[in-house]
Structure 1
Amino acid sequence: MPRFRLFLPLVLGSLAAPALADPAVGLWRTEPDRKNLTSLIRIDTCGAALCGTVLKAFDPQGREVQTANVGKRLFWDLKPAGSGNYAGGTVHVPLLNVQANAKAELSGNRLRVTGCKGLVCDGQTWVRAH
């Protein structure tokens, strides 16, 4: 019985502990887009993949602005591919109103997000927002 008393708290503690989050999960600030707006993107785990949602948008002076994209899913199904790389997802490019194949590369507090439609690829480097 004494071993059980020592073992039970360890088992219950491990069940209550949250799973380790993917290092890309969190808040990210985008580069200015073609309209010179930046956005705050929240990356979450969605099943076995990552998804990103536009939380807020800002004008060049840093003032929050309302756009049609706030609250919308920006990318989904982005899966960890090892060594800070992510692939296999889809990104919605609001300014062009197209969907493209998505990939990303995490390096410290920078996340390079790229979308490719056919042979044409474009992307941004996002910075982790604290």
Structure 2
Amino acid sequence: MHQMKCVPFAVVVGLTALAGSASAAPSRGVFGHWLTDDGAGIVEVKRCGASLCGTLVRVLDPKAPAHDINNPDASLRGRPLVGVPIIYGMHPDGDGWKGGRAYDPKAGRSYRASLAVGEKGRLDVTGCILFLCQTKHWTRVAEENGR
């Protein structure tokens, strides 16, 4: 008899968790301003045509260079960091975004990447080289200028 009471409770808990994950669907959950995991910058994630992109809108690290000096393309090293595409080419896939790239201006490297809303509303940004992947957790910040 005790087991019968636990099963429905487990089902309710499971359905509640599923409902919570549905509210974090990729069509809304990832859009907005995000503080990078290292606190060095703020990236605005939005739609760019049929895909998703993220642009560096603010550099918070006072030691960071003003320009994209680590870019492997020498012709891009003089561009300001603010405005640099950090995430691009992402397409919806289930409960996340995949098929795109993430650029790390500190390393001057781009990685295969995916995005998903994670625990506590964080943005999980996963970058991969070959079969090695690492996930960084970005934190949502208040929208600036009423956006």
State the TM-score, normalized to the length of structure 1. 0.69
| Shift, 1:52, TM fit | 0.3
SS at match of 1:102: strand
1:51 aligns with 2:53: yes
Which of residues 117, 126, 131 is equivalent to 1:106?
117
How many positions carry a matched residue from both structures? 102
Give the letter aligned to residue 133 of structure 2: C
- For residue 93 of structure 2, what is the amino acid of its counterpart? A
Calculate percent identity across the aligned residue pairs.
Answer: 27
1:56 and 1:64 in contact (8 A); partners too: no
Q: Report the counterpart of residue 32 of structure 2 in structure 1.
A: 26
In the TM superposition, residue 74 of structure 1 has moved relative to its aligned partner by 0.5
More strand by share: 1
Structure with the higher helix share, 1 or 2: 2
Does residue 75 of structure 1 match 2:92? no
Any idea what the Cα deviations from partners look like across 1:7-61, whole Å, max 9, x if unmatched? xxxxxxxxxxxxxx632111111111xxxx52110011011211000011113xx
**TM-score with structure 2 setting the length:** 0.61
Point out where structure 2 has 5 or more consecutive residues left out of the alignment. 1-26, 68-80, 143-147
1:41 alignment counterpart: 43
Q: Matches of 1:64 and 1:28 in 2, distance apart?
A: 20
Q: CA, structure 1 residues 50+64, in 2 after alignment: closer, same or farther (shift >3 Å)?
A: farther
Kindly report the root-mean-square deviation, in angstroms, between the aligned alpha carbons of the 2 structures.
Answer: 2.1
SS at match of 1:31: coil
**1:118 paired residue number:** 130
101-110 or 70-79: bigger deviation: 101-110
